[in-house]
Amino acid sequence: MDTTHPGGNAPRSDRFLAETHEVFNQPAALADHNLYAADRALREAVAREGAAVADAALLEFGGRIGAADYLELGRLANQYPPEFEPNDRFGHRVDLVRFHPAYHALMRTAIAEGLHASPWTEPGPGAHVARAARYYLHAQVEAGHGCPVTMTFAAIPTLRLQPELAARWEPMITSRAYDPDNRPAHEKAGLTVGMAMTEKQGGSDVRANTTRAYPVSSPGPGQPYELVGHKYFVSAPMCDLFLVLAQAPGGLSCFLLPRWRPDGSKNPMQVVRLKRKMGNVSNASAETELRGALSWMVGPEGRGVATIIEMVAMTRFDCMIGSGAGMRMAASQALHHCSGRSAFGRRLVDQPLMKNVLADLALESEAALALTMRIARALDRRAEEHEDCLVRLCTAVGKYWICKRAPQHAAEAMECIGGSGVMEDSPMPRLYREAPVNAIWEGSGNVQCLDALRAMRKTPVVVQAYFDEVARARAGSASLDRAIAQLQGELRDGPDIELRARDLVDRMATVLQAALLVQHAPARVADAFCASRLDGLGHHQYGALPPTVEFDRIIERAMPRA
Ligand SMILES: Cc1cc2nc3c(=O)[nH]c(=O)nc-3n(C[C@H](O)[C@H](O)[C@H](O)COP(=O)(O)OP(=O)(O)OC[C@H]3O[C@@H](n4cnc5c(N)ncnc54)[C@H](O)[C@@H]3O)c2cc1C
């Protein structure tokens, strides 16, 4: 039988094998785009909340980190997780964690941009807002490296409670040089800071800590101690310094522990192993043992929780930014994909039911951003009582709510992409596995709700500040006015208040988000948010917005490409 093609010499079967089908109806990867330029909600928030001067720098940054080869760093840092080497090849204890170069590249950018320090080194109007915007953009590229960046940033307010320690360490912590070498602090150009509170028997309840602190000479704030015990979760164990909780003779206290002693020997906070995490893979998290590790007391003896809470408050704020960033990237991926993919004769983005899902994902993302950037401005103006009250109450409210909304949002965005969204070569699995982490660390959901109750009981003025804040949107939406009045009636203390805490905090968060959108977002965004989150039964599934919503214009506003 003749198997050659009539027009050539290649066998017919080979020609068919080489060209079995044409690839079409598959959108290109979302890359080489400016993460900031196309994000209208972010640009408006930056201007509104006091950081308009940062707009040009953010534009440059958004373009640089949206480049395809920069986005690839995020994939690589997670594809090749950190590895732990307890000893060097000669048997010396080194507690070395090795990272892929992509992780170091991300850290270098974050620190050069001041994500770990800029509001402390250049305070002033808009400082927290500009830093939050930069962090929001960079966390869209990769989330795991944000952990040590956040802890380094957050450590400063706690460290300043012990001024002589702050004077010694702060300049090196706030340096814009990233120096990952495993060497003593005095040999390095820049330092990072971690946090070690959690033990096996309790993380939320740190009063259960059993690690003991023994004074080296005279006891008290600023004095040296040796710590003996363990820490069950120590993220970023290659940090140069750690803020640690341990039981001193006078009660649970806070300590600053360097990874190397001043004499250049290894300080014995030994890594036992790295945790095997389902998400947050690029970031190392360790179990450690403290074998007489030298450290210095920060703040008053017995006031460890009150001292370290200054740091924890800042890490909680960054969880809001990080989860909002995850939602923005998930919504961007879904919107981009559905614009380039058709089914049943129409682009997915033009199918009515998909429009409903996409618009709803965009609303959630914009609401998370609005709340986060409002708290960033409050951080910039803490000298004003109203703003300080917002920070105290609404960081707990926002951390709980935004982090809690992220996992379902990520799952829904993944579903918009269909089967390919589940595949490991898509960015969606990484976003999905990252989504629950922020809700759990830095105070899990219930702990945040209880913290909001504690703030309202201990400092009732925060409740008034909250209602003053949401009242700024009064008469902008009948749904919002009704929801505010209802909430006022239900914020009464009573024996069942803990049982109702999630429901109350849920509603405090959505009312505050609605109030911000009513004041600052286009009416179509605010109206859709109020109609779906405040009226009726509340929001239980993405894609169930009422048919009156202006779907196309909400989608157009959120599109990741200008
Ligand atoms: C990836 C990762 C990295 C981490 N890195 C660090 C780190 O660097 N440093 C560090 O110190 N810790 C770290 N942690 C620990 C983290 O902060 C704790 O896991 C968290 O605080 C919860 O503590 P736990 O795990 O002991 O859970 P538990 O305290 O046992 O809490 C379990 C559940 O009970 C709930 N709960 C607790 N108390 C109450 C109550 N009174 N009423 C109702 N519900 C309640 C909590 O909300 C939670 O849902 C990390 C955790 C993870 C997952």
In this structure, what token pair is assigned to residue 162?
């012990």
Ligand 1 mutation target, pool 285, 444, 453, 497, most atoms within 8 A of CB: 444
**309 CA to centre of ligand 1 in angstroms:** 15
Can you tell me the distance from the alpha carbon of 368 to that of 486, in angstroms, rounded to the nearest whole number? 22
Q: Is 537 helix (H, G, I), strand (E, B) or coil?
A: coil
Atom number, ligand 1, closest to the C-alpha of residue 236: 8
pLDDT of residue 561: 83
Distances (CA, A) of 72 to 127, 241, 258, 338, 413: 29, 30, 33, 22, 20
Can you tell me the distance from the alpha carbon of 303 to that of 76, in angstroms, rounded to the nearest whole number? 42
Residue nearest atom 45 of ligand 1, based on CA coordinates = 446
Atom number, ligand 1, closest to the C-alpha of residue 447: 47
Helix (H) or strand (E) holding 445: helix 445-458
Q: Which residues line ligand 1 (CB under 6 A)?
A: 194-198, 202-205, 233-235, 277, 280, 285, 437, 440-441, 444-447, 450
CB 255 within 8 A of CB 295: yes
Atom number, ligand 1, closest to the C-alpha of residue 446: 47
Atom number, ligand 1, closest to the C-alpha of residue 277: 1
Q: Please give the backbone phi and psi of residue 33, each rounded to the nearest 5 degrees, phi first.
A: -130, 155
Distances (CA, A) of 159 to 267, 329, 348, 378: 20, 34, 52, 21
Atom number, ligand 1, closest to the C-alpha of residue 285: 3
Residue nearest atom 37 of ligand 1, based on CA coordinates = 204
**441 CA to centre of ligand 1 in angstroms:** 6
**555 CA to centre of ligand 1 in angstroms:** 37
Atom number, ligand 1, closest to the C-alpha of residue 437: 53
Can you tell me the distance from the alpha carbon of 118 to that of 395, in angstroms, rounded to the nearest whole number? 20
**316 CA to centre of ligand 1 in angstroms:** 13
Where does 197-284 show beta strands of DSSP type E?
A: 212-215, 224-235, 241-248, 251-258, 269-274
**491 CA to centre of ligand 1 in angstroms:** 27
Residue type, 127: A
Q: What is the largest CA-CA distance in the chain?
A: 99
Can you tell me the distance from the alpha carbon of 294 to that of 120, in angstroms, rounded to the nearest whole number? 27
Can you tell me the distance from the alpha carbon of 33 to that of 441, in angstroms, rounded to the nearest whole number? 32
Residue nearest atom 31 of ligand 1, based on CA coordinates = 204
On the CB side of 243, CA atoms within 13 Å amount to 33
pLDDT of residue 11: 61
Residue nearest atom 51 of ligand 1, based on CA coordinates = 441
Q: Give the pLDDT means over successive 10-residue stretches in the chain (562 positions).
A: 50 70 96 97 98 98 98 98 97 96 98 98 97 98 98 98 98 98 96 98 96 98 98 98 98 98 96 98 98 98 97 98 98 98 98 98 98 98 98 98 98 98 97 98 97 96 98 97 94 88 97 98 98 84 95 98 72
Tell if the pTM clears 0.85, that is, is over it. Answer: yes
Residue nearest atom 25 of ligand 1, based on CA coordinates = 203
**77 CA to centre of ligand 1 in angstroms:** 25
Nearest to 95 by CA among 267, 295, 277: 267
Residue nearest atom 11 of ligand 1, based on CA coordinates = 197
Atom number, ligand 1, closest to the C-alpha of residue 234: 8
**331 CA to centre of ligand 1 in angstroms:** 28
Strands 241-248 and 193-196: parallel
Q: 407: how many CB neighbours lie within 10 A of its CB?
A: 20
Atom number, ligand 1, closest to the C-alpha of residue 445: 47
Residue nearest atom 7 of ligand 1, based on CA coordinates = 234
Can you tell me the distance from the alpha carbon of 435 to that of 410, in angstroms, rounded to the nearest whole number? 7
**55 CA to centre of ligand 1 in angstroms:** 37
Burial-class residue 202 by CB neighbours within 10 Å (0-12, 13-18, 19+): middle
